[in-house]
Chains A and B, each alone.
Chain A
Amino acid sequence: DAKTTQPTSMDCAEGRAANLPCNHSTISGNEYVYWYRQIHSQGPQYIIHGLKNNETNEMASLIITEDRKSSTLILPHATLRDTAVYYCIVRVAANGNNRLAFGKGNQVVVIP
């Protein structure tokens, strides 16, 4: 699975959109981009995933560049409860390749 690069940490203003970048320059054509977050040692929480197209759900939007070498997770209106470690993970979804490889993630702090 391709590796990802994220900032170690970032601050976001409450009520504003939070844009979380992720680089995955070695991604291959059949690899998905997943985003999870972990709030203070709780279980990782699934946010969103995509393959090529931009995706949106009730939690966030995922913007994937045309060359697929980077992506941005957008939290449209950050709240204090969005303070968490955010993980960008790239993986081929295939039988026999089941593991999610978590990195160190991006510690996002939402500031009032």
Chain B
Amino acid sequence: EPEVTQTPSHQVTQMGQEVILRCVPISNHLYFYWYRQILGQKVEFLVSFYNNEISEKSEIFDDQFSVERPDGSNFTLKIRSTKLEDSAMYFCASSERASGTRHTQYFGPGTRLTVL
């Protein structure tokens, strides 16, 4: 069964450093998403991406964050200058569509980001 994959599984970085989290969505999916979950808290939506542009973003997704689909398979989340409060699990998701049928979002296993 096709799956969303994410790398790395765990990333440790120093405050102020840039990090790039990588995701490979399910191959025939067109919509891509990033969510995060701070330890002990709810899963929070960050951004959705379609047709090479952001279609929706939350208030969390500020100028420090960016997303990109650099090639036909990868979808990345970049944090420009990490802060301690960016420490969280980051989940990538994808869906075939955003509306109608086949809009279900499937999640990857996550990347645990630790900012020291």
Q: Main SS of chain B's interface residues?
A: strand
Q: Main SS of chain A's interface residues?
A: loop
Using A46-B104, A93-B100, A95-B99 as known contacts, say yes or no to A103 and B42 having CB atoms under 8 A apart: yes
Cβ–Cβ contact B42 & A102, under 8 A? yes
Q: What 1/0 flags go to B19-58 for Cβ under 8 Å of A?
A: 0000000000001010101000011110010000001101
Number of A-B residue pairs, CB cutoff 8 Å, is 63
Cβ–Cβ contact B100 & A43, under 8 A? no
Q: What 1/0 flags go to B97-116 for Cβ under 8 Å of A?
A: 01110011111111000000
Q: What CA separation (Å) do A95 and B35 show in the bound complex?
A: 18
Which of chain B's residues 1-17 have a Cβ closer than 8 Å to chain A?
Answer: 4
Q: Can you give 22 contacting A-B residue pairs, CB < 8 Å? A: A38-B43, A43-B108, A44-B93, A45-B107, A46-B104, A46-B107, A49-B104, A87-B43, A93-B98, A93-B99, A93-B100, A96-B56, A97-B56, A98-B55, A98-B56, A98-B98, A99-B56, A99-B58, A100-B45, A101-B45, A102-B43, A102-B44
| Shortest 5 CB-CB contacts between residues of A and residues of B | A99-B45, A43-B107, A98-B48, A102-B43, A93-B103
